[in-house]
Amino acid sequence: MVIRSVVNFGNHDQPDINTPSGIDLAGADLRARDLSGLDLRQARLVGVNLSGASLFGISVAGSDMREANLTGADLRGADLSYTDLRGADLTGADFTGVDLTEAYHDVDTKGVPVEMLGQMTPATRLKGYQAQ
């Protein structure tokens, strides 16, 4: 992953270097931040607060975003394919051009437009999934 400038992720500052994919930002408060175009594939983003954030063109493919807060986020053109969105709240997010191919959801995932659910995979199809 390449981060082109210093981006303040709360307690997780990332300098202008090549950073391996799989960064751990679990629980970070990134609300209303501009993270447009970042490559956060296979990141651990469990419980991250991205409410109102600009995530235009971001790639979080294959990331763990369980229980993330994405309310009102700008997701236009984002790649959320193969992302675990179980329990996430996407209420009011802009889904224009979003790739949700094989993204996982469950009954606790909120705010995904009905017309986009067809791209997603119910968590019940996850290997070893157990309802809680």
pLDDT tens for residues 39-84?
999 999 999 999 999 999 999 999 999 999 999 999 999 999 999 9
Task: Please list the residues that pair with 68 across neighbouring strands.
Answer: none
Q: Decide which of 85 and 131 is more confident.
A: 85
Domain assignment of residue 11, yes or no: no
Q: What is the pLDDT of residue 116?
A: 86
- Domain tally for the chain? 1
Tell me if 48 is assigned to some domain: yes
- DSSP states of 81-122: TT-B-TT-B-TT-B-TT-B-TT-EE-TT-B---GGGGGGSEE
Examine the pLDDT at 126 and tell me if it is beyond 80: no
Mean pLDDT, the chain, rounded, equals 83
pTM for the predicted model, two decimal places: 0.80
Residues of the domain holding 75: 21-126
Q: Which amino acid is at 60?
A: V
Tell me whether residue 13 is in a domain.
no
Q: What is the pLDDT of residues 102-117, one digit of tens each?
A: 999 999 999 988 888 8
Note whether residue 49 is domain-resident: yes
Q: What is the CATH number of the domain that holds 63?
A: 2.160.20.80
